[in-house]
Structure 1
Amino acid sequence: MAGVDRAVPPALTHAGPDRFLWALDKLTTAVEWLHRNDRRDHPPVRPVDRDIPLLVSEVRAEADEVISLRLTSPDGAPLPTWQPGAHLDVVLPFGRKRQYSLCGDPGERGHYRIAVRRLADGDGGSREIHDELRSGSRIIARGPRNAFPFITAPSYLFIAGGIGITPILPMVRTAAARGANWRLVYTGRSRESMPFLGELAALDPARVWIRPDTEFGIPASGAELLEHSPPDAAVYCCGPIPMITGVRVDLPGSGADSLHWERFSAPPIVDGRPFTVELARTGETVEVPADRSALDVIGEVLPQVPYSCRQGFCGTCHVRVLAGEVDHRGRAEEDRMAICTSRATGRVVLDL
């Protein structure tokens, strides 16, 4: 999910550990609601329906449990252009669809690069990439899409946590090429778990702070990360939910101007209640339990249903509502439902 915060004081406080992700996400509910319903931040991502056949031309180990894939066109044709912050929707050989940030050079048309951390307790997408894809494998991608646009600013602070370096790396290179005043703070469990350290070492060392938890004992607070901000900087942050939440809470006390953030995981379902979805075009009815999204359940009967961010922001999965009352938990028109995050009261009829 991508978002934008201005440096104004929100009515939030730090959450303590355990009951952990729920509590942290609950703290930012008010700010997220404002973000999702404020269309001034930036327009929804336009759906990109083209299928791009891609050839895996190289698989490279970048860190513990992290590999990068170099992706080229099978016929050698130039690939569609992209800007920093963009991602691909990758259709894996077994049918799973996953989103991966482009982390190469935006000016390079001959290949794309993505990086994937293996998640042993994930839902299988990362394991499939690590275990099944080899040099010579073929996949289909859709995009590139950009829900995390990189704005022009005189100064930047980039904050990346672990695999969150992937959308940040092209931004850092672009800021450096523009001659902007920039700093990068890169956190992770250990140096061995943090990809692309070699590439970052080739940048200006005075502007880069590598902060592994193993060398500092505890994860960094938001205030500690923001200490490195140039005056009036645009802050770009990507990583785990606790890190982003800490930065958002402490932003008003920093010298930064704005915060632009993206997280890879879907937000926890808070106060979820079961409801029923009727699919008008197919005539099927599905039951959505309290702890699952409508997108997850609908995807089991309609695997082709489009989606991208899975967090209510981009607009790809918004569906017209024909009947029923929607609990809007995403940025959608009143007559549409963001099926990845929004819920319904009782029964809802969708144009699917």
Structure 2
Amino acid sequence: MTGHQHLQELRLHVRQVRHEADDVVSIRFARRDDGELPAWEPGAHLEIRLPSRLIRQYSLCGAPDDRTGYTVAVLRAHDGRGGSAEIHDTALVGRELTVRGPRNDFPLLPAPSYTFVAGGIGITPILGMARAATSRSTAWSLHYGGRSARSMAFVPAIAELAAAAGAPVAVLPEDVHGLLDLDGIVAGAGDGGAVYACGPAPMLAALRTAVARRPDLTLHTELFTAPAPTPGDAAPHTAPDRHERDFTVVLAQTGETATVTDGCTILDAVRRLRPEVPYSCEEGFCGTCDTKVLSGTPVHRDTVLSENDRAGHTSMMICVGSCASDELVLDL
């Protein structure tokens, strides 16, 4: 993440919805006139406003050099809050939806080699990264785990890509092979290489432990759910509606103000005045509500911003953040 990102808003036509695996569909968006879409880099995602007006974000998983369409994949979350079920159950082909982006909080940085690790639907950003590494002629390997073979999306595309690149790929369903051998994967990573991983929080936590034993490697991860609190790390997990003091939020574009008190999130206060403000996870990990801060001292509780971004106080996730000054002026 490199500070507040200005996101383009587009009205795009849903050209195709395709079954990719059990409980996984891919969706392809394009312009009505087949015009060129804004460029994107591996790791980027789109924020999609669904017909119900829910906003959800999904990683782009098509070919980064394909400017004619955007492709995302969606896992039906049976214990979710309705966004994925709406995508799976609604006839979307032919509709126009509003999307914002592409936004990239998980960029593929240059490295001598890449070790990609994907768990379940975490394959979506990793697939684009493997394509980019191939185009850069950079050595890469992929280790892909899932509950079962039927639940694992894009396996044919991965096999084709691996054959073209001469890259080692292991597709390992858990019901046959057990969990990924993360210690072995890290031990086999190239000297000075980068490890990119996306998947469930326990997998990423275990991978972090394994990589700690290889100081020559750099680890880059992305979560699709909020991380569990860890001992001694209470501050980022403070309830989003808890505040040390009352403060005033000013919406700079209109001059409207709202008082934020204990028991109310900044997002709640803002939405009373501006209900169209985008948000999604309400847990500080997706970045949808990233808002530019014009003045005031935000208190950051998200897992999106880097330490440098936090120190600059130029943007914040208003779903979980707080304020250490009397007034917080937002670019809304």
**TM (normalized to structure 1)?**
0.76
Which residue number corresponds to residue 329 of structure 1? 301
> Alpha-carbon deviation of 1:255?
7.1
2-side partners of 1:166 and 1:312: how far apart?
15
Aligned mate of 2:274, from 274, 290, 302: 302
Pair 169,134 (structure 1): closer, same or farther in 2 beyond 3 Å: same
Residue 105 of structure 1: SS of its match in structure 2? coil
Q: How does 1:151-170 map to 2 (within 5 A)?
A: 151-170=109-128
2-side partners of 1:118 and 1:312: how far apart?
17
Q: What number of residue pairs does the alignment pair up?
A: 304
> Alpha-carbon deviation of 1:336?
5.9
Cα deviation 1:292-340 (Å, max 9, x = unaligned) = 8543664465333356884387993243454xx7543354334764323
Q: How does 1:268-347 map to 2 (within 5 A)?
A: 270-272=237-239, 274-275=242-243, 276=246, 278-280=248-250, 281-287=255-261, 289=263, 294-295=266-267, 298-299=270-271, 302-306=274-278, 310-311=284-285, 316-320=290-294, 322=296, 326-330=298-302, 331-332=309-310, 333-334=312-313, 337-344=316-323
Contact 1:118 / 1:130 at 8 angstroms: preserved in 2?
Answer: yes
Aligned mate of 2:28, from 49, 70, 93: 70
Residue 206 of structure 2: SS of its match in structure 1? helix
Cα deviation 1:261-294 (Å, max 9, x = unaligned) = 11122345624372356433434345564xx854
1-side partners of 2:328 and 2:4: how far apart?
21
2-side partners of 1:258 and 1:44: how far apart?
21
**TM (normalized to structure 2)?**
0.80
Which residue number corresponds to residue 133 of structure 2? 175
Which residue number corresponds to residue 306 of structure 2? none
Cα deviation 1:41-64 (Å, max 9, x = unaligned) = x6225212x321111111100011
Greater Cα offset, 276-285 or 179-188: 276-285
Pair 266,61 (structure 1): closer, same or farther in 2 beyond 3 Å: same
Pair 287,244 (structure 1): closer, same or farther in 2 beyond 3 Å: same
Residue 144 of structure 1: SS of its match in structure 2? strand
1-side partners of 2:24 and 2:237: how far apart?
31
Cα deviation 1:49-89 (Å, max 9, x = unaligned) = x3211111111000111100011101221111111111111
RCO higher in structure (CA 8 A, sep ≥6)? 1
1-side partners of 2:286 and 2:129: how far apart?
24
Unpaired segments ≥5 residues, structure 2: 229-235, 303-308
1-side partners of 2:171 and 2:269: how far apart?
41
Pair 191,300 (structure 1): closer, same or farther in 2 beyond 3 Å: farther
Give structure 1 regions of 4+ aligned residues with deviation exceeding 6 angstroms: 312-315
Which residue number corresponds to residue 214 of structure 1? 175
2-side partners of 1:318 and 1:95: how far apart?
23
1-side partners of 2:205 and 2:39: how far apart?
32
Contact 2:292 / 2:314 at 8 angstroms: preserved in 1?
Answer: no
What code does the residue aligned with 1:279 have? V
Residue 204 of structure 1: SS of its match in structure 2? helix
Pair 45,350 (structure 1): closer, same or farther in 2 beyond 3 Å: closer
Contact 2:298 / 2:328 at 8 angstroms: preserved in 1?
Answer: no
Pair 282,297 (structure 1): closer, same or farther in 2 beyond 3 Å: closer
Residue identity over aligned pairs, in percent, reads 39
> Alpha-carbon deviation of 1:243?
1.1
Which residue number corresponds to residue 254 of structure 1? 214
Cα deviation 1:234-259 (Å, max 9, x = unaligned) = 11111111111111122122375211
Residue 194 of structure 1 pairs with residue 152 of structure 2: yes
